[in-house]
Chain A
Amino acid sequence: MKKLIQIHHLSFSFGKQQVLAELTADFYGEELTVILGRNGSGKSTLFNILSGMERHYKGEVLFADQNRKDIHAGKKNTLRIGFMTQFHQTTFPFTVFDVVLTGCAAFSRFAPRQVDFDLVEENLRAFQLWHLKDKPYTALSGGERQLVLLCRILVQQPNVLLLDEPTNHLDLHYQVAVMEHLKRLVQSGTTIVCVMHDPNLALLYGNRFYVMQDKKLHLLEEKDPVALLSTLEKTYHVALTNVQHDGRTLIIPKRKHL
């Protein structure tokens, strides 16, 4: 696989507070890359830079050898980059269907076409959300909203999908459903970069893992249980033990008080 996203010497500060320092990393095409790390470690800042929302950084961010700042949305010949953020509020009670339909807006000029309607239906059905299509989006639960937004990103059929904690509001059923779906997308050629908080869910489905620590990304040696444990223990400041499952290493925190 070739390197699709390359980050060289990326630095970013909020005023005087440095968030990212000389960060260098490569994310490979057609893989599910997961970024782990503590709260406030700079994961979301990195995410904002990758998604193009934050442009005042030092260093270089390349998507398929093209500078991120030069990739302009809405053009047909460029990479389609879809992203989903953690927080979202909406003012007007649009129906679920109308919300998802806006995902197609970059390509149809004035009004949605039949293809767009079909894509919306396909994606809503894939997540068993079709029965909600006429409900106001504002009346949904947090988890349902998250799934609807994911569908909305997916209808534009992105080449690169950037997700900031896509499973944080979901129950176990939907966590698995979403991860399985992401896995299928990767198999059909999508590149996914995902910020996650649950290391085990990440280890079960990811191809490559990074840990955000000390303003940098560190590659996680997931194949070596000892190295994996020590890195994650250092990152999360928790004593851990490992479990082997299906050729993968999963982790369990050690209880202090037995």
Chain B
Amino acid sequence: MGRRVKVLLLILTPFVVLFFSLSLGSTGYVGILDLAHYMWMGIQRLFGHELARATTDIETILWQVRLPRILLTFMVGAALAVSGGVLQAIFRNPIVDPFSLGISSGAAFGAALSMLIPFIPINLSAFLFGIVAVTITYFVSYAGARTSMITMVLAGMIITGVFTAFLTVLQYLSDPYKLQAIVQWTMGNLHTASWDKVQTTFIPIIGGLFAIATFRWKLNLLALGDQEAMAVGVNPRNIKFIIVGLATMITASAVASVGMISLFGLIVPHISRIFFGPNNQIGVFANMSIGGTFLLLIDDFSRAVMPFEIPVGVFTMILGAPLFIYLMRKNAVNWNA
């Protein structure tokens, strides 16, 4: 497949899948022609056209239930994938992701804390604890140029464990009603999506993704190592600090809105490297497109195939693990550890 075809697919596939996802759901399948008709009505309504003002049930479901969920799912998928790709490049470690570095569990603890204590914004709290977690992981495992990949993942596991323990304490202390909310949300739930959630998530994720995209070339430099960056006159420390902060921000907002989705940020960057190579200039965009599309497909699967909904975090683990093992065995994952 030529490079142009690949890039074209990268741009077009998300739109096709977004459209297709709108037609699926527990209320029933909406045909493509009907969907196009409803979309046309919706667009007319946006511009205040008289005839289109009447709303049917199916329209309400499309615009108030399915569309926000699809947009949220896509953003979350893109955020987790880009965050994973960025962290792998910066730490020069193909086995890290927001989850294995402790960011996800730190953010989950922060988000749960804000559910119990009023007046703390959920995004901010998730972000702060995500930053705390990744900073601890980094300093625990830091050993200069000799920083070992394995040590870093082990440190991340320990930090994840600690924050999961804190989260359990919160669950233990909270009343049954809040407990249920926290438990459901930690499993990774997309069905609570609403325009409100899209609104609170939109700015940090889209802003963060855009900011990371501007650093896409510098990521190649950082992926070669600190010394190699200094050798050509770039001080890696500040850029690393900014990029890890951005990656944590998008992960934290994703976690704050839909809970923990494990393994996703680890797998997608590997998939996009298989198709587009390790160059982050294209890799950042590939992660956005593949990450968003992939999570949307997984969610479609859980919405349409089963009569009841399975939390998406459970699904990514069940679908992701065999895929990852397959890639690892095939040695298509491409790393020299």
Does B bind A? yes
Chain A contact residues, CB within 8 Å of chain B:
51-53, 72-74, 80-85, 88-95, 98-99, 101-106, 108, 110-112, 138, 149, 152-153, 156, 158
Contact between B279 and A152, CB atoms less than 8 A apart? no
Among the listed stretches B224-232, B298-306, B309-317, which one makes contact with chain A, having 4 or more residues with CB under 8 Å of it? B224-232
28 CB < 8 A contacts A-B = A52-B230, A53-B227, A82-B231, A82-B232, A82-B233, A88-B225, A89-B225, A89-B336, A90-B223, A91-B94, A91-B336, A92-B89, A92-B335, A93-B278, A93-B336, A94-B220, A94-B223, A94-B224, A94-B278, A94-B279, A98-B279, A102-B220, A104-B232, A110-B214, A110-B217, A112-B217, A152-B228, A158-B233
Q: Does B64 lie at the interface of the complex (its beta carbon under 8 Å from any beta carbon of A)?
A: no
* Contact partners of B228 in chain A: CB under 8 A: 88, 102, 149, 152
* Contact partners of A112 in chain B: CB under 8 A: 217
Contact between A95 and B235, CB atoms less than 8 A apart? no
Q: Does B207 lie at the interface of the complex (its beta carbon under 8 Å from any beta carbon of A)?
A: no
Q: Does B93 lie at the interface of the complex (its beta carbon under 8 Å from any beta carbon of A)?
A: yes
Contact between B233 and A156, CB atoms less than 8 A apart? yes
Q: A102 vs B233: C-alpha distance in the bound complex, in angstroms? A: 11
Which of B92, B232, B277, B337 neighbours the largest number of chain A CB atoms within 10 Å of its CB?
B232
Interface size class of B (residues with CB under 8 A): 20 to 34
Q: Lowest 7 CB-CB distances: which A-B pairs, in order? A: A106-B233, A92-B278, A73-B233, A102-B221, A91-B92, A105-B221, A103-B232
Which of A72, A94, A156 neighbours the largest number of chain B CB atoms within 10 Å of its CB?
A94
Instruction: Report the minimum CB–CB distance from A86 to chain B (whole Å).
Output: 11
Which of A85, A99, A105, A156 neighbours the largest number of chain B CB atoms within 10 Å of its CB?
A105
Dominant secondary structure at the A interface = loop
Q: A81-B233, A82-B231, A98-B220 are in contact. List 12 more A-B contacts (CB 8 A).
A: A53-B227, A73-B233, A74-B234, A80-B233, A92-B223, A93-B336, A94-B224, A94-B278, A99-B224, A105-B218, A105-B221, A110-B215
* Contact partners of B216 in chain A: CB under 8 A: 110-111
* Contact partners of B232 in chain A: CB under 8 A: 82, 102-106, 152-153, 156
Q: A187 vs B217: C-alpha distance in the bound complex, in angstroms? A: 33
Q: A105-B217, A111-B281, A112-B217 are in contact. Are A92 and B334 (CB under 8 A)?
A: yes
Instruction: Report the minimum CB–CB distance from A142 to chain B (whole Å).
Output: 14
Q: A82 vs B227: C-alpha distance in the bound complex, in angstroms? A: 11
* Contact partners of A153 in chain B: CB under 8 A: 231-232
- CB-CB nearest in chain A for B149: A91
* Contact partners of A80 in chain B: CB under 8 A: 233
* Contact partners of A149 in chain B: CB under 8 A: 228
* Contact partners of A81 in chain B: CB under 8 A: 233
Contact between A106 and B234, CB atoms less than 8 A apart? yes
Contact between A105 and B335, CB atoms less than 8 A apart? no
Q: A92-B94, A110-B214, A111-B217 are in contact. Are A85 and B231 (CB under 8 A)?
A: yes
Q: A106 vs B230: C-alpha distance in the bound complex, in angstroms? A: 9
Q: A74-B235, A138-B336 are in contact. Are A90 and B230 (CB under 8 A)?
A: no
- CB-CB nearest in chain B for A102: B221
Contact between A90 and B231, CB atoms less than 8 A apart? no
* B266-283 vs A, Cβ < 8 Å mask (1 yes, 0 no): 000000010001110100
Q: A103 vs B230: C-alpha distance in the bound complex, in angstroms? A: 10
* B188-220 vs A, Cβ < 8 Å mask (1 yes, 0 no): 000000000000000000000000001111101
* Contact partners of B233 in chain A: CB under 8 A: 73-74, 80-82, 106, 156, 158
Contact between A72 and B235, CB atoms less than 8 A apart? yes
Please pick, from A51, A108, A110, A138, the residue contacting B231 in the complex, using a CB distance under 8 A: A51
* Contact partners of B336 in chain A: CB under 8 A: 89-91, 93, 138
* Contact partners of A93 in chain B: CB under 8 A: 277-278, 334, 336
* B243-275 vs A, Cβ < 8 Å mask (1 yes, 0 no): 000000000000000000000000000000100
Q: A52 vs B225: C-alpha distance in the bound complex, in angstroms? A: 15
* Contact partners of B337 in chain A: CB under 8 A: 91
Q: A94 vs B235: C-alpha distance in the bound complex, in angstroms? A: 21
Please pick, from B225, B234, B277, the residue contacting A90 in the complex, using a CB distance under 8 A: B225
Instruction: Report the minimum CB–CB distance from A78 to chain B (whole Å).
Output: 9
Contact between B279 and A95, CB atoms less than 8 A apart? yes
